[in-house]
Structure formats: structure tokens, C-alpha cells
Chains A and B, each alone.
Chain A
Amino acid sequence: MSGHSELTTGPLEYRSHEDRMTVLGFWLFLGAEIALFATLFATYAVLFGRTADAPAPQELFEMPMALTMTFLLLTSSFTCGIAIHEMRRGSLKGLLTWLIITLALGLGFLGFEIYEFVHYAHEGATLQSSAYWSSFFVLTGTHGAHVTLGICWAVLLIIQLKKRGLNQMTARKTFVLGLYWHFLDVIWIFLFTSVYLIGMVV
């Protein structure tokens, strides 16, 4: 199935052995990323409730805000999937259009997250204010840093796609970026659930 031969049919990103190994290698990287985020989630869970003199999460978390961020990132993951779908149909224009929509939604998410962090800081919850808020900002901040990196990566890739068009190399690079972007939403699902929803309930 994944032999060493060059393929002449099927998706561009799987044509050469090297490209197939690159995609597999990126999956292994995502496995390591899951382990990284697991340690941050574990720290957050252990330090849950240790807010010292800072406000409790129930006082600061708001459902409309959390839902807006969730829908922005979820929709961007969907549009990124459509971008890959367009790429496999051979449509560079469709790919670029949907990638730029994905980028705009990602920027929207990032804007809300920055606004959220500034708002919490004004309310007295910062990285330094308590064990709980340290673990909160490290966990959500690490995710936000990943989103920022993903946005920069997508901008560079869009420039390359415009210059070189769709070929085996750019298709593979786009597919790997797509995996990364979907992965950011996978992590956010668990952030939304275990940080925001549980933070509002417990």
C-alpha cells in the first residue's frame, strides 16, 4: 500500500515515497504534541481551584465568549478541510480562496483570545496571580502560540502557492499544514470542554 514506488494517480501529496513518509512523520509529530498538551492539561487539572486571592474562573468565564471562539476555530477547521478538498480537485483558486477564509477565521479567534487575556488581566487574573491562573495561561497560551505559528505558516504557504502553483511539493506542504490546523481544533475542543465548560460548572 505504501511501497517505495512513484505513483501516477491519486492525490498529489501521496505520489512519491518521500511525501508519504513526510505525512506519516507529521502524524507522529502530532502524537508528540498530544503528549505535550496532556502534561499541560494535567497541571491545570491538579491546580484547579487554587486561585488564592485572584478571582475564581466562574466569575470570569462567559459562555458567549467561549462559544464564539469555539465556533470561529471549528469553522476554520471546516474551511481548511474544504481547502484540501478543492486542492484534490485540482483547483488552485478554490484552494487559495478557502485557505484565506481559514486564515481570516484563525485571526478572528486569535483576536478574541488576546481580548480575553487582556480582560482577565484587568480583572486581576494574570500569570503571576495564582497557581490556577498560571496553569490556565500556560495551557491556553500554548494553544494560542500554536495558532499564531499556524497563521504565519499559512501566510508563507499561500505566497509559495501563488508563486509555484500546485505541484507534488506544494500539495504535500498544504496537506501537512491542513493536518496541523485541524489538530489545533482537536486541542481546542478539549480546552473548551475541560477548561471553560467545567470551569463554569464546578
Chain B
Amino acid sequence: MSAENEKFPKQHIVGFLGSLVLTLAAAWAAVGSGLPTIWIIVSIMVMAVVQAFIQLFMFMHLTEKNGSIQVGNMLHAFFIAAVIIAGSVWTMSFGFSHNHSDDGGGGEEMQMEEQEHNH
């Protein structure tokens, strides 16, 4: 409680600087690092989650008052989000690629055939 009465909002400034660094690091990882695409995606998603936690814990006072319910609810919401997104990608596009640039709209059937040939 005493921290709230301080004139200097240290926690907010640390969180803000951390977020700036993470944003720039993610931008660099995407366009400047030359890492394999899968590692770019993994690393920038990890940095996004860290930044989200900075917002929740350092800016939004997630753990105050009914903190345990609020933390549980946020974890549940993130779990639901992961299931919806990963589940959709898994069921709808796992093992399926589409070369939209080469063959316009007809590409999907051709690739379905290719996949069947591979089996």
C-alpha cells in the first residue's frame, strides 16, 4: 500500500521500459535477425506473452484485493484462447499449405491431390 503513495511510479516506468525493449527486440527478430522462420515466430510470441504479463501485473494491479480469483480467471482465459487458436489451426490447416501466388484459386484441389499421392 505504501508504494502507491510514492511520488515516483517506479513499477510503471520499469514496466514501460521493459515493454519498449521487448517491442523493439521483437521487431528486430522479425526483420533483422535472419533466424529460421519457426524460431522467429516462437521468440516473438514468447516476447508478446512476457509483455502481456507486464501489463497485467505491473500496470493493471492484477493481484490486488480479489487477486487469486482474478489471476485464476486470467489463466483460464489464456487457456481458452490457446485451445481456440491452436485447435482451429490444428483442425483446419495442419499439414496443409497453399501456394496462392502461383496458381490463383485452383491451388487447393491440386495440393489435396498431391497430399493423397504422398500417402
Binding site for B on A (CB under 8 A): 1-2, 9-11, 14, 20, 23-24, 27-28, 30-32, 34-35, 37-39, 41-43, 45-46, 48-53, 56, 63, 66-67, 70-71, 74-75, 77-78, 80-82, 84-85, 88-89, 178-179, 182-183, 185-186, 189-190, 192-194, 197-198, 200-202
Contact = CB atoms under 8 A, between A and B. Distances in A.
B73 A193 contact: no
Given A192-B23, A201-B41, A24 B69 contact: yes
A186 B55 contact: yes
Contacts of B66: 1-2, 20, 23-24, 27
Which of the four size classes fits the interface of chain B?
Answer: 35 or more
B40 A201 contact: yes
A1 B77 contact: no
Contacts of A34: 74, 77-78, 80-81
A193 B7 contact: no
Nearest to A34: B77
Interface in B85-109: 85, 87-89, 92-93, 98, 100-101, 104-105
**Most chain-B Cβ atoms within 10 A of its Cβ — which of A28, A38, A71?**
A38
A73 to B, nearest CB: 10
Interface in B39-82: 40-41, 44-45, 47-48, 51-52, 55-56, 58-62, 64-66, 69-70, 73-74, 76-78, 80-82
A71 B15 contact: no
Given A27-B66, A74-B16, 8 more contacts: A2-B66, A9-B1, A37-B81, A45-B88, A45-B93, A49-B98, A85-B9, A182-B56
